[in-house]
Amino acid sequence: MRIGVFGAAGATGKEVVRRILSTPGLVLSGGTGRPKSADIGKDIAAAAGLKPIGLPILADPAAVFAISDVVIDFALSSATIQHLKLAAKAKVPIVLGVTGFKAAHRTAIAQAAKKTAVVEAPNTAYAVNLAMVYIERVARVLAGDFDIEIVTVGDRKLPFAPSGTALQLVDAAARGLGVKRDNALVKVRDGDIGVRKPTAIGLHNIRGGIRPGNSQRGIFFGDSEVIEIAGITSSPGVYADGAVIAAQWVKGKRPGHYGMREVFDLG
């Protein structure tokens, strides 16, 4: 199976390159970097700290789609819409590890998903995806008797908030509570905030350090007891592991919009 990697010289892209090259049965078909960046033309394996394999990092994503069965995207969100259009044209499935999507990205995902399989995966770590499932279940069981706060820790480089993962956690809690995200989400508390509503979902976006050490936590506060459900990653390699699993899973899937919950078969 041939896998291409967008953002191949980035922190996560390099992990993905290493995973593909060390997994029997997988072939690294190619990869891209930011057009005009110094990474273009570098050997893709050498850029990831491995022995050169004679495969240069390309500037043209269409060229990588042409030689890939699936592409994993860990470039930046400024390139995602173009990548989705090309995926649809080439009818090659794409795993979107990249995050930071706005409304235009949502539209592009929906359009591309009519023509090819798109896995939207703002967090590819198994523990985090499993934590989301349990946050939803616990929210459903406690149904408003406990106050839910979501606390996410991202590294200092993450240039926006909330992260896609943070919103996924909020959505999981909201589904469990049976409320809509927009009616429940409390992003800022400052000044005369009034009494907390039972269906509020507070969100806290902590930033600091570098990966590893990201954590995604749902905290349920009762009157005299607390439940915490956390997905914590301690190595950046887990993101690459999840992305490669998603690439293997999505090969041959019908056009559609998928998520890591389906990839990991979490029900």
| Residues contacting residue 143 through CB under 8 Å, at least 6 positions apart | 176, 177, 178
Strand ranges inside 117-157, DSSP E: 117-120, 147-154
Cis status, amide bond into 162, omega within 30 of 0 = yes
Write down the least CB distance from residue 237 to ligand NAP, Å: 11
Q: Which residue is nearest to ligand NAP (CB)?
A: 10
Residue from 29, 68, 116, 124 binding ligand NAP (CB under 6 A): 124
Q: Where are the alpha helices (DSSP H) in 36-193?
A: 44-47, 61-65, 80-90, 103-112, 126-142, 164-177, 181-184
Query: How far is Cα 88 from Cα 91, in angstroms, rounded to an integer?
Result: 5
Write down the least CB distance from residue 141 to ligand NAP, Å: 28
Beta bridge partners of 150: 203, 218
Place of tokens 């996410």: 152
Residue 213 in the binding site for ligand NAP (CB under 6 A): no
Contact 70, 247 (CB under 8 A): yes
Residue (14 or 220) nearer to ligand NAP, CB: 14
Residue (101 or 146) nearer to ligand NAP, CB: 101
Residue (112 or 184) nearer to ligand NAP, CB: 112
Write down the least CB distance from residue 41 to ligand NAP, Å: 13
Helix 80-90, helix 103-112: angle, nearest 10? 10
* DSSP output for 54-70: S-BPBS-HHHHHTT-SE
Query: How far is Cα 75 from Cα 8, in angstroms, rounded to an integer?
Result: 8
Write down the least CB distance from residue 202 to ligand NAP, Å: 23
Residue 239 in the binding site for ligand NAP (CB under 6 A): yes
Residue 68 in the binding site for ligand NAP (CB under 6 A): no
Residue 46 in the binding site for ligand NAP (CB under 6 A): no
Residue 30 in the binding site for ligand NAP (CB under 6 A): no
Residue from 4, 10, 30, 93 binding ligand NAP (CB under 6 A): 10
Residue 100 in the binding site for ligand NAP (CB under 6 A): yes
Residue ranges that bind ligand NAP, judged by CB under 6 A: 6-7, 9-13, 32-34, 37, 74-77, 79, 97-100, 121-125, 239
